[in-house]
Amino acid sequence: MRTTVAFVISLILFIVVFITVLGVEEDERCVPGGGSTSADGGVPDGAYSLPEKNAGDHITSGWRTPDRPTHAGLDIAQGAGTPIYAYADGVVAKAGPASGFGQWVVIDHQIDGKLYSTVYGHVFPEGIHVKAGDTVKAGQHIADEGYNGEVYPPGPGGSHLHFEVWEGGRDSGHDVDPKPWLDKAVEPGSAGGSGDSKGSGGVVLIGDSLSVGADEQIKKAIPGVEIDAKVGRQFAEGVKILQGKRTTAKTVIMALGTNGPFSQADVDAAVKAAGDAKVVLTTVAGPKVTSAGAVNRLVAANASKVSVADWAARVGQHPDYVGADGIHLSDAGRSAFAQMLAESVGSKPGKGAASSSVRKGPGTTSGGGEVPDSEVIQSKDHLQIDTIRLARAVALRFPQIKTIGGWRPSDPYPDHPSGRAADIMIPNWDTDEGKQLGDDILAYLWGNREYFQVEYFIWRQKYIPAQGEGNVMEDRGSPTQNHYDHIHVTTIGHGYPAPGQKYGPAPEGGSEVPGGPEGAAGDGCDAIAGVDVGLAAGEIPEEYVKWIQLAGRLCAQAPAPLIAGLIYQESKFSTTAVSSAGATGPAQFMPGTWAVAGAKVDDNGEVAGPAGSGSPNAIPDAVMAAGRYLCSTAKQVKEWKSAGKISGDDTELMLAAYNAGGGNVLNYGGVPPFAETQKYVKVIPEHATRFAQKAK
């Protein structure tokens, strides 16, 4: 992490977590344990639900036992990714960071006229499926089992659900033994819905990333549906899953084909495995779905023996149903896709699902058609597609706006020169009316952030990523530099427009308010992966060993020896190291980078303060920040590499981004041709080999 301005630039690129995958047919979501994102566990009305299926058979530690007298709950261990269900109807009181638990969910219930709370601990941020204020039902899938926080052994081997029951509420009551409460609960899925692994419900859906993205809409359109969807799934894998289910469902939907063509033998195997159930096949569509031709011909050839949900026909009428990546669903597309599948349940072989009754949703305009150009948009010839689409929509929806800038020929950050940024100038920004206008525009864009392919916003000194937590930025000295007089929006871009480029409609709705920026010292997608490689501790200063080991558990791509090698290369384990450019501390953080990526940590290495807190010269804060930063760069490298934007060794690319900045890695398509960086990516793995010797 040297002197380049690009290093500071990279903090934006790596804190942002993209919502959609860019032009990749086989992608992955960061969900510990992988597998389906749907885990319906409905229970009969008035019943209580076990927090995990078969929970009683997997209790590994009880409540306040002699060996653990302060243990306020019980532990249920079935492996990372196991679905966790709400015990009873209630309201989510907390969903997020918690001391010792990493992340937790707390639900308040009214039971027999009294307040009770149930607690679900050790989950990961990406494993939480509810937010504070949500109303939930007993048996609702609220989270996934994890190994976040203080677990033993550290890593996947320590994965478990810590479950508590509090009489009088979590904040003002007292904990009680959860076991009697479990004894009067029923199995999730016992309501006869999709929680039955044998598929006893009416409809079974086996799908890929399109079904993953439309999970919520599909459940609303087809009540009780069992969804088994996974990103990157191909048809042959779906057939094996169906064969293993031995389903007694009335309808089986095979929503597959986006990730590659399949054969007549695959279709025949699916029909056979479905038994007496009706089989629905979907066509596929999208300008970057290369399998569309072969898949759609095969589906059409089987229309006499299966029902066809003709997604290609719907997309032909509504191109805006496909997102900007050319594959996945837009906001409007998710609703339309779900409605199509619902209609297919009642269709008969020989007939495709009707395409005339698609419900209007976000991503459409009241009049449909193309969003018009506007004179308020400046430097249009230099803007990329996503930025133009967003600027046109804002100009149409908010006629009060008179100027939308964004492009300039040079800047320390790449967003403006690349044409990916829009600056929406707010008239009378220093009045209540101006602030409200800015808030309304931000709410509109936030609610449609996926449609517009937004990476992040800045408004009134707050950095707000499209996904994850933001932060309050440092004071830059003026209303413009602090973004009080304009909203800055950076999009993914997707290149410069071709002649005759279409931008689609301006979406409606979008009144959501982004979550408060409570610190961007967040985690990479693979956070707390439990990697625990031995160190040659004798060669590392004693005061560093614990923190390097903790940082090495954050993700598989950055194990402890590699972090030790990086710290050694950057500072020779010095807390007072300062570069000529002003980078400081053991990991050599620039002040601007620390303000966003740094944070104070507690004794367990967990973030314990807002972004920019702590000190880059403090060993715990600096080493853990370096680990978090490496993990976030590893995540970004993986996405860029999958999209074909860069190539090379994953570890070298991650280290290059740390040293030279992610912008340079992206611009050069791999490790930049800088002498320092070329040496850096080779020497740190050499140091890691040295530090990886097991302590004796």
Active site residues: 570
Indicate the SS3 state at residue 292.
Answer: helix
Sequence letter at residue 18? F
Closest CA to 87 of 76, 102, 79, 101: 76
Lookup result for tokens 């306040």: 64
Question: What Rg, from alpha-carbon coordinates, does the chain have?
Answer: 26
- Give CA–CA dist 413/312, Å, rounded: 40
Per the structure block, which two tokens stand in for 362?
């976000």
Distances (CA, A) of 599 to 162, 250, 553, 586: 27, 54, 18, 15
- Give CA–CA dist 21/7, Å, rounded: 24
Closest CA to 123 of 151, 91, 152, 165: 151
Q: Given CA atoms 245, 248, 254, 255 in this order, what sign does their dihedral have?
A: negative
404-405 vs 421-425, strand pairing mode: antiparallel
- Give CA–CA dist 340/344, Å, rounded: 6
Q: Given CA atoms 481, 487, 493, 498 in this order, what sign does their dihedral have?
A: negative
- Give CA–CA dist 355/309, Å, rounded: 9
CB count in 10 Å sphere of residue 499: 4
**Cβ(582)–Cβ(590) below 8 Å:** yes
Lookup result for tokens 């079974």: 204
- Give CA–CA dist 590/2, Å, rounded: 8
Q: Residue 428's Cα: distance from chain center in Å? A: 36
Rounded (to 5) percent helix, strand, coil in the chain: 30, 15, 50
- Give CA–CA dist 149/163, Å, rounded: 14
DSSP per position, 361-411: -TT--SS-SPPPP-TTB--GGG--HHHHHHHHHHHHH-TT---EE---S--
226-229 vs 203-207, strand pairing mode: parallel
- Give CA–CA dist 464/458, Å, rounded: 6
- Contacts of 416-420 with C-beta under 8 Å, sequence gap 24+, read 418/384, 418/493, 419/382, 419/383, 419/384, 419/387, 419/493, 419/496, 420/384, 420/386, 420/387, 420/455, 420/490, 420/491, 420/492, 420/493
Facing residues of 135 across strands?
91
Per the structure block, which two tokens stand in for 220?
């609303």
